[in-house]
Amino acid sequence: MFERRNIVTAVELGTSRIRVLVGESSGDGLQVLGRGEAPSGGSIIKGEVIDMDRALELLSEAVEMADESSGKMINQSRAVGIIVTNSGISSLQSVGSAIVRSQDHRVSEDDITEATRNAQVNHLPFERTVIGSFDSYFLLDGNRKVSSPLGQSAHKLDAYVHVIHGETNRIENYSKIMQDVGFEDNTYLIFSGIATTMGVLTEEEKRNGAILLDMGAGATEYVTVYNHGIMGSGVIPVGFDHVINDLSVILKLHIDTCRKLILDGTLAAMSARGQGFIELKNLNSATVKIPLGSFEKIIDERLKETFTIIKDNLKNQGLFTNIGSGGILSGGAALFPRTPDVYRDVFECPVRIGKPFDASGAITELESPRYSTIWGALKYCDVCMKSDELQHGGITDSISSTIDALAHGIQRTFVNVFKSIKI
């Protein structure tokens, strides 16, 4: 009898690209077996599926491509993740408590499970659906903050849990398209920002604190972490396409001209050479000479505005603290040289480019910020698969043992897959 292989699949419906990644989990880690991509073709805007038929057609092409390159492995997937992002996503901090009843008053796994489960009793309105929840931190006796309370002495344990939720109707669109393409079993919804943190953050950054910004074409997600806990998250419907649109409107250039200047590196190369002007045809087909500084000012202003909104959100929530590791910038916008500079100026902290650093396998061209989210989602699916196996084996209450033993270094407080939503 052949042993069943541990195949996992991740799907990303982005504003610019639809991506599918297939991997296999083994004792040597997670290996990438296949990849498929297709342009979104306007079927997805800011994380919203606006043309279901066209999106399904393009997703089917990407799935078929990934299936072929993986050696027809997709139908053996034991966990499939669909990345979710749109302007309807929000988050809240929930608190649950448990009385430590053991004679020696040492916190047990059962106490942790009870406290985290009690944090979920706050019901959302019917039009909202929980996408996932993640441990932030714990309080012992109301005053001692810890990331792992197991074995510590206390009379009362409070669990602070970060809950991410979205509009039910929008979430159902993701569920429907996954079912239509043939993924019906063991399918999970994964918030894009969480997937990216799993794809690019180091253990040191998770421990010392960091702010991740993932700026794609249509939206920007952000996540703050500290001491291996998710402290805050959000999404704003502004991405690098808005930068390109600003250039087109203000400079009266065709949007395709502006997009090409950005994406093919022409603008960055001219700036690096210290070139003063660029000649282009405007919307009236007349040749105009535009100062390079005009491009730079427009780009910087839009990026500054976007990052300032996120910074203000974090400050208002009291989350602009404990960022010892600084900022991480990922997504396609990270490839444009001015983006990290503006991020650094706005947040006043060191910034690095986040990209997959531990991806391996037959598909090796994943070392780009564009693949941070899809790679992180594949890792998330790996954890979900192994957690499901323990649940089916009868271990349904030991959250920490599941993650600590099986998540390949991902801390229990960093992702709690038992509270992920399964389609």
In the chain, where the domains are located: 90-164, 240-294
Express as a percent the part of the chain with pLDDT over 90.
68
pLDDT at 406 (0 to 100): 33
At residue 217, what is the residue type? A
273-289 tens-digit pLDDT:
988 999 999 898 899 99
The mean pLDDT of the chain is 87
In this prediction, residue 68 has a pLDDT band, given cuts at 50, 70 and 90, of very high
In this prediction, residue 147 has a pLDDT band, given cuts at 50, 70 and 90, of confident
74-90 tens-digit pLDDT:
999 999 999 999 878 99
Strand extents, DSSP E, 216-362: 220-226, 229-236, 277-281, 287-291, 327-330, 351-353, 360-361
Residue 422 has pLDDT above 60, yes or no: no
327-357 tens-digit pLDDT:
999 999 999 999 999 999 999 999 999 999 8
Least confident of 95-99, 244-248, 335-339, 387-391: 387-391
Q: b/e for 272-305, b at 16 or more Cβ within 10 A?
A: eeeeeebebeeeeeeeeebebeebeebbbebbee
In this prediction, residue 420 has a pLDDT band, given cuts at 50, 70 and 90, of very low
DSSP helix/strand/coil, 412: coil
Q: What share of the chain is helix, strand, coil (3-state, %, to 5)?
A: 40, 30, 30
pLDDT at 386 (0 to 100): 82
Q: Give the mean pLDDT of 146-157.
A: 93
The Cα-based distances of 135 to 117, 183, 409 in angstroms read 11, 29, 16
Name the residue with higher pLDDT: 413 or 74: 74
Name the residue with higher pLDDT: 394 or 249: 249
Are the C-beta atoms of residues 134 and 416 closer than 8 Å to each other?
yes
Within 13 Å, how many C-alpha atoms sit on residue 69's CB side? Answer: 21
| Separation between Cα atoms, residue 298 and residue 304, nearest integer Å | 10
Are the C-beta atoms of residues 56 and 69 closer than 8 Å to each other?
no
pLDDT at 413 (0 to 100): 36
The arrangement of secondary structure in 90-164, i.e. its CATH architecture, is 2-Layer Sandwich (3.30)
pLDDT at 88 (0 to 100): 87
In this prediction, residue 121 has a pLDDT band, given cuts at 50, 70 and 90, of low
* pTM as predicted: 0.88
Q: Give the mean pLDDT of 401-418.
A: 38
| Separation between Cα atoms, residue 110 and residue 92, nearest integer Å | 24
In this prediction, residue 2 has a pLDDT band, given cuts at 50, 70 and 90, of low
pLDDT at 253 (0 to 100): 95
| Separation between Cα atoms, residue 125 and residue 342, nearest integer Å | 38
Element (H, E) at 79: strand 77-84
In this prediction, residue 122 has a pLDDT band, given cuts at 50, 70 and 90, of low
pLDDT at 387 (0 to 100): 77
Are the C-beta atoms of residues 239 and 222 closer than 8 Å to each other?
no
DSSP tag of 305: H
Residue 242 has pLDDT above 80, yes or no: yes
